[in-house]
């Protein structure tokens, strides 16, 4: 069995993909350590819930108590402009994030691993440096197409230069690369001319799903359209959803789960008041990751209205679609490139509307909510798809097989190299 260290710049409770990967490897018998960070007290509750059940060991950098954080932030800004001026590769990790150098430093004296897996660009330099130090391998998981996460602008272009410099330097040496959607995988090929990454969908465990499809109308007041995320914020088509429930003949209620971005809840309430649906807009408290599928199951329809302004939003398959499937809830999804590619595979469990098109969304809502037989079939189809294909059990088996195969080949090459030196 192998020793594996997974490195992420985020908190455990905010990165279920890291936790799922760590658990899949640990349950296979590998020795797994996850290095993450602590920055927000509100996320610590989710971290605690994860660690209470974890089969892996954890090392967390507490950024809340780091006295030098402000200095590191100043150094990051200076390093970014310095990189922009001279393109010095050594500046790139500092220029990207104050966290990036800390990830390497925290593990520098720790026990060596056979494989270091980086999640997010900030972790990639650390994984590569630690692998070089210990004669090990490193890998990269692209949950997003990171250089496409921001809207174009002068400051964004400098950030992208830093991101490209890091990925261009380290991705060719990675043992493997995984990606969370087919379009993200292809974007990495097109941008860096690397081998096609293996797609590991951001799906969830069947244990989180209800035992059978639930009946529509479980949540009251209803009928219901449901959306969730860590943050209730911009770019997710939520104003479109409010205007659509106002126009829909079925008069649905819209439920939003998460923590509203500063001032955004007031904006949504203003749109709801303007449309005369204030009493049909509901804000729900954030929930623990393992509860999301169970909580989704009671709602009639799920919403995934990405506006697709950023390139990454066009390429990514959001977690919520797969949570809806496991919960047995059909999705109403905007016509991003990723949704259009996935849609035919889901049939009636996913309906697509043009981005921002209020009337088209309202018509889709009514096509389900005013037709009980159609809704019941779509809910059953969604649950069946979640059970048979779009679940973590299926993807975990593929991921672990990939890692074990790549590690075995890496060790064989290393052994042959040592023999050649004799």
Each residue of 23-61: pLDDT tens digit? 999 999 999 999 999 887 778 888 888 899 999 999 999
* Phi, psi at 223, each rounded to 5°: -65, 170
Lowest mean pLDDT among 7-11, 98-102, 198-202, 276-280: 98-102
Picking from 170, 214, 225, the residue whose alpha carbon sits closest to that of residue 192 is 170
Strand partners, 260: 232
What backbone phi and psi angles, to 5 degrees, belong to 60? -120, 130
What pLDDT was estimated at residue 44? 82
pLDDT of residue 250: 98
**Adjacent-strand bridge partners of 126:** none
Candidate CATH numbers 3.30.70.790, 2.40.430.10, 3.40.50.2000, 3.30.950.10; the one for domain 3-203+392-421: 3.40.50.2000
pLDDT at 72 > cutoff 90? no
Residue 168 to residue 362: CA distance in whole angstroms: 44
- Range picked from 62-71, 87-96, 305-314 for highest mean pLDDT: 305-314
**Does residue 422 carry a pLDDT above 60?**
no
**What is the pLDDT at residue 141?**
98
351 pLDDT tier (thresholds 50, 70, 90): very high
- Cβ partners under 8 Å of residue 293, min gap 6: 204, 208, 209, 210, 323, 326, 327
What span, in angstroms and rounded, lies between the C-alpha atoms of 257 and 291?
A: 12
Rounded CA separation 284/257 (Å): 4
Task: Check whether 343 has a pLDDT greater than 90.
Answer: yes
pLDDT 10s digits, 144-182: 999 998 877 777 888 899 999 999 999 999 999 999 999
pTM for this predicted structure: 0.93
The predicted pLDDT at position 230 comes to 87
Number of CB atoms found within 10 A of residue 418's CB: 9
Q: Give the model's confidence band at 248: pLDDT under 50 very low, under 70 low, under 90 confident, else very high.
A: very high
Q: Using CA of residue 331, residue 335, residue 336, residue 341, what is the dihedral sign? A: positive
Question: Residue 67 pLDDT more than 80?
Answer: no
Residue 7 has pLDDT above 70, yes or no: yes
- Rounded to an integer, what distance in angstroms lies between the CA atom of residue 305 and that of residue 236? 6
Cis peptide upstream of residue 142 (ω within 30 degrees of 0): no
pLDDT at 22 over 60: yes
Q: Looking at residues 121-127, what average pLDDT do you find?
A: 96
**Strand pairing of 177-179 and 137-142?**
parallel
pLDDT band at 418 (very low <50, low <70, confident <90, very high): low
- With H, G, I as helix, E, B as strand and everything else as coil, classify residue 196: coil
| 3-class secondary-structure state, position 269 | helix
* Residue 360 confidence (pLDDT): 98
Instruction: Answer whether residue 212 shows pLDDT above 60.
Output: yes
Fold of the domain spanning 207-388 = Rossmann fold (3.40.50)
C-alpha radius of gyration, the chain, whole number: 22
pLDDT tier at 419, thresholds 50, 70, 90 = low
Domain boundaries, the chain: 3-203+392-421, 207-388
Which of 21-25, 73-77, 212-216, 334-338 is predicted with the least confidence, judged by mean pLDDT? 73-77
Q: Does the pLDDT of residue 68 top 80, yes or no?
A: no
**Same fold across 3-203+392-421 and 207-388:** yes
In which band, very low, low, confident or very high, does the pLDDT at 420 lie, cut at 50, 70 and 90?
A: low
The answer to whether residue 234 scores a pLDDT higher than 80 is yes
Comparing 226 with 288, the larger pLDDT belongs to 226
Of 68-77, 190-199, 230-239, 328-337, the poorest mean pLDDT is in 68-77
Q: What average pLDDT is seen over the chain? A: 93
Q: Burial, 52: exposed, middle or buried (Cβ in 10 Å; 0-12, 13-18, 19+)? A: exposed
Share of the chain above pLDDT 70, in %: 98
């Amino acid at each position: 069995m192998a020793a594996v260290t997974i490195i992420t710049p985020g908190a455990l409770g905010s990165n279920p993909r890291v936790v799922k990967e760590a658990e899949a490897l640990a349950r296979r018998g590998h020795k797994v350590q996850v290095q993450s960070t602590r920055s927000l007290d509100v996320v610590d509750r989710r971290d605690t819930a994860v660690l209470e059940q974890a089969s892996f060991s954890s090392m967390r950098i507490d950024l809340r108590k780091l006295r030098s954080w402000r200095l590191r932030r100043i150094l990051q800004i200076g390093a970014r402009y310095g990189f922009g001026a001279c393109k010095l590769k050594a500046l790139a990790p500092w220029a990207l994030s104050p966290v990036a150098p800390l990830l390497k430093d925290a593990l520098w004296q720790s026990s060596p691993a056979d494989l270091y897996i980086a999640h997010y660009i900030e972790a990639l330099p650390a994984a590569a440096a630690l692998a070089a130090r210990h004669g090990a391998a490193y890998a990269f998981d692209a949950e997003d197409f990171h250089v496409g996460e921001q809207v174009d602008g002068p400051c964004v272009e400098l950030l992208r230069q830093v991101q490209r410099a890091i990925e261009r330097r380290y991705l060719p040496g990675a043992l493997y690369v995984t990606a969370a959607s087919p379009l993200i995988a292809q974007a990495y090929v097109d941008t860096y001319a690397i081998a096609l990454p293996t797609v590991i969908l951001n799906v969830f465990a069947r244990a989180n799903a209800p035992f059978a499809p639930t009946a529509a109308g479980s949540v009251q007041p209803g009928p219901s359209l449901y959306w969730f995320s860590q943050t209730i914020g911009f770019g997710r088509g939520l104003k479109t959803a409010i205007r659509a429930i106002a126009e829909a003949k079925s008069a649905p209620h819209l439920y939003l789960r998460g923590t509203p971005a500063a001032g955004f809840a007031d904006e949504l309430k203003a749109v709801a008041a303007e449309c005369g649906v204030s009493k049909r807009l509901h804000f729900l408290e954030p929930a623990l990751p393992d509860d999301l599928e169970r909580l989704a199951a009671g709602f009639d329809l799920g919403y995934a209205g990405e506006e697709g302004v950023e390139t990454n939003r066009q390429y990514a398959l959001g977690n919520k679609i797969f949570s809806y499937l496991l919960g047995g809830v059909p999705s109403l999804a905007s016509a991003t490139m990723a949704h259009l590619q996935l849609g035919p595979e889901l049939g009636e469990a996913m309906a697509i509307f043009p981005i921002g098109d209020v009337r088209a969304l309202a018509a889709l809502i009514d096509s389900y909510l005013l037709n009980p037989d159609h809704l019941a079939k779509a809910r059953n189809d969604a649950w069946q798809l979640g059970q048979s294909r779009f679940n973590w059990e299926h993807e975990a088996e593929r991921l672990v097989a990939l890692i074990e195969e790549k590690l075995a080949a890496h060790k064989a090459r290393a052994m042959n190299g040592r023999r050649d030196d004799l």
